Amino acid sequence: MEFSCKETSDVLIVKVDAPRIDAAAAISFKQNMREITGKSGISHVVLDLSEVGFIDSSGLGAIVSVMKLMGGTKRLDLAALTPTVEKVFRLTRMDSIFTIYAQSAEVEKIYQAG
């Protein structure tokens, strides 16, 4: 699974460059994310899902698992949910667990505004 990362002094934006986070991709997603977030010293991570058109319960579980692995010291937010992904988060009420931004650029702006 491909990712592209953008790191500033305040936030690490991880964009998933894959069309789906499904049962076939969940393990690879989890491993990659653990590596990426483990390597970076930045405590605020935003997962940009703008390229992800579909997620299933395995993918959802993988995102929750990544958030739990980051523990209480790091923070995982989400950005740019496409309609079907948004639907899965809304129906499972996972949208109440995560902070979700419309676009990942919003997060950068918040930090720039200081």
Select 15 or 20, whichever has its Cβ closest to other proteins.
Answer: 20
Residue 60 contacts other proteins per CB under 8 A: yes
The angle, 0 to 180 degrees and rounded to 10, between the axes of the packed helices 57-70 and 83-91 is 70
The residue type of 37 is T
Angle (CA) 67-20-27 rounded to 5° is: 50
Q: How far is the CB of 57 from other proteins (least distance, A)?
A: 4
CA gap 78, 88 in Å, rounded: 14
Residue 91 contacts other proteins per CB under 8 A: yes
Which residues on adjacent β-strands are paired with residue 54? 20
Residue 93 contacts other proteins per CB under 8 A: yes
107 and 75 in contact (C-beta within 8 Å)? no
Residue 64 contacts other proteins per CB under 8 A: yes
| Binding segment toward other proteins, per CB under 8 A, in 21-29, 35-43, 44-52, 102-110 | 21-29
Tell which positions 29-58 bind other proteins, by CB under 8 A: 54, 56-58
CA gap 74, 46 in Å, rounded: 11
Rule CB under 8 A: which residues touch other proteins?
20, 22-24, 54, 56-58, 60-62, 64-65, 67-68, 71-72, 83-84, 87-88, 91-93, 96-97
